[in-house]
Structure 1
């Protein structure tokens, strides 16, 4: 059932204008927890997708709530990795419309187990201008903002602009030249911080998860196994860890960095 919030959320006073109305479905208790916004491109690189998944999953395991916008790409990865019960989705439509349609099942799960918020009354369609309004709400509600991939003039760039105006702490991933140019530019200007070590970053938001510290694959890599053998035994994990900078391939062998 769609309900209206009848109390003030102090975070939202950072917005240019406090919402006239705020509708919700789900568990309002999530508003009391530490909230971490994760947003980014609808078409992230494979590296960005892998790291988004890992960060959202670990943060949620430590009791943090992930806030995002329900879009395909980075938003979807963040919601799914946190699990529906530990995520808040901010909608750019009325809550009677589950948009995008491809995420209908995910949105239903968040409604039932997590929390979905919207500034828009029922029957409000997915108008382009509404998503900029949604992005401002995501940023205001979040204690910090993580942007894992953003192109120039993208919706994620608007989120970054809101975060800078609100003096939010912003974290991004380091990318190669020509990729995620919006975050690379802000990083070069010293306006955002880069996540170079996932475990070190995560440790700011709770005790590190023990199973992540003892890593069977990294233990295996200590013997510098042949690359082909490592791929045969662990598959995509080799590629994932190489992208994360935990290992490198030298002379056909896997080396821990």
Structure 2
């Protein structure tokens, strides 16, 4: 069994194009909570495996929902750490196809206890381009993106490009020389922040999530930097008042909370 989402997901307004349909299995209430996206290599080293597991587990225990793509490696570890009941898996295939097959049991557990989501109709097999769409949704749903390990030219860097375009905060794990070359480059270029202490980072993220829960639906929508046109379409009366009051600003055609 599968369903299509009966409501708009504000976070996805930051995508280049909002999906025509979103198919799901599981608990859609997870989409209304504070969320963090975690991505990375399919072949993580032991340090990355341990830190990704600890990070996702502690974020989950603090009330944060973990978003990832159900792929081998970092994705699967992030889902496991969060626990099936507190994670959202974005699929590059139809909702009825548990891809990759190696993670079929994990995806089934998430279907039953958490949430699986895809813009692709049932029966659709994963294609090279559908992974790109999957990655954009993974990034858009999270309040921030964590890349625990990635090399230059890897698929994870496509997710980083989306995060930069969406103006999402990017966090990475510190690595030794010659390891995780892409995340080290992001740090050198000032495009990401290092997670030097997991407990402090989790406390910071969970507090931000609590603050977001106190937002009105309009402010929560605007925190995702929607286009002015989208904001007008969803909140035509609120936007004028908020702009006059200085609560929001319009920058390059997008709405930003001041």
Residue 121 of structure 2: aligned partner: 121
Q: CA deviation at 1:6?
A: 2.2
Q: Report the count of equivalent residues.
A: 207
Give the TM-score normalised by structure 1: 0.79
Q: CA deviation at 1:119?
A: 0.6
Structure 2: gaps (5+ residues): 208-258
Tell me the distance in 1 between the aligned counterparts of 2:96 and 2:68.
18
Tell me the distance in 1 between the aligned counterparts of 2:119 and 2:95.
9
Residue 20 of structure 2: aligned partner: 20
Q: Is 1:205 equivalent to 2:173 in the alignment? A: no
Give structure 1 regions of 4+ aligned residues with deviation exceeding 4 angstroms: none
Structure 1: gaps (5+ residues): 208-257
Tell me the distance in 2 between the aligned counterparts of 1:196 and 1:4.
40
Q: Deviations over 1:21-44 (max 9, x none)?
A: 110000000011100101100001
1:174-185 matches, within 5 Å, as: 174-185=174-185
Tell me the distance in 2 between the aligned counterparts of 1:205 and 1:146.
12
Q: CA deviation at 1:160?
A: 0.5
Tell me the distance in 2 between the aligned counterparts of 1:65 and 1:171.
16
1:212-227 matches, within 5 Å, as: none
Tell me the distance in 1 between the aligned counterparts of 2:37 and 2:55.
11
Q: Is 1:10 equivalent to 2:10 in the alignment? A: yes
Residue 143 of structure 2: aligned partner: 143
Cα RMSD, aligned residues only = 0.9
Tell me the distance in 2 between the aligned counterparts of 1:133 and 1:25.
19
Secondary structure of 1:123 counterpart: coil
Tell me the distance in 1 between the aligned counterparts of 2:129 and 2:153.
14
Tell me the distance in 1 between the aligned counterparts of 2:92 and 2:206.
31
Q: Is 1:152 equivalent to 2:152 in the alignment? A: yes
Secondary structure of 1:149 counterpart: coil
1:27-176 matches, within 5 Å, as: 27-176=27-176
Tell me the distance in 1 between the aligned counterparts of 2:31 and 2:123.
25
Tell me the distance in 1 between the aligned counterparts of 2:121 and 2:151.
30
Tell me the distance in 2 between the aligned counterparts of 1:178 and 1:2.
44
Tell me the distance in 2 between the aligned counterparts of 1:142 and 1:91.
15
Tell me the distance in 2 between the aligned counterparts of 1:26 and 1:93.
16
1:186-201 matches, within 5 Å, as: 186-201=186-201
Q: Deviations over 1:162-199 (max 9, x none)?
A: 00000000100111221111111111010100001111
Tell me the distance in 2 between the aligned counterparts of 1:157 and 1:113.
30
Tell me the distance in 2 between the aligned counterparts of 1:190 and 1:205.
20
Q: Deviations over 1:110-132 (max 9, x none)?
A: 00100000010011112111101
Instruction: Specify the structure having the higher radius of gyration (Cα).
Output: 1
Tell me the distance in 1 between the aligned counterparts of 2:13 and 2:139.
12
Q: CA deviation at 1:79?
A: 0.3
Secondary structure of 2:145 counterpart: strand
Tell me the distance in 2 between the aligned counterparts of 1:34 and 1:64.
5
Tell me the distance in 1 between the aligned counterparts of 2:206 and 2:156.
27
Q: CA deviation at 1:206?
A: 3.5
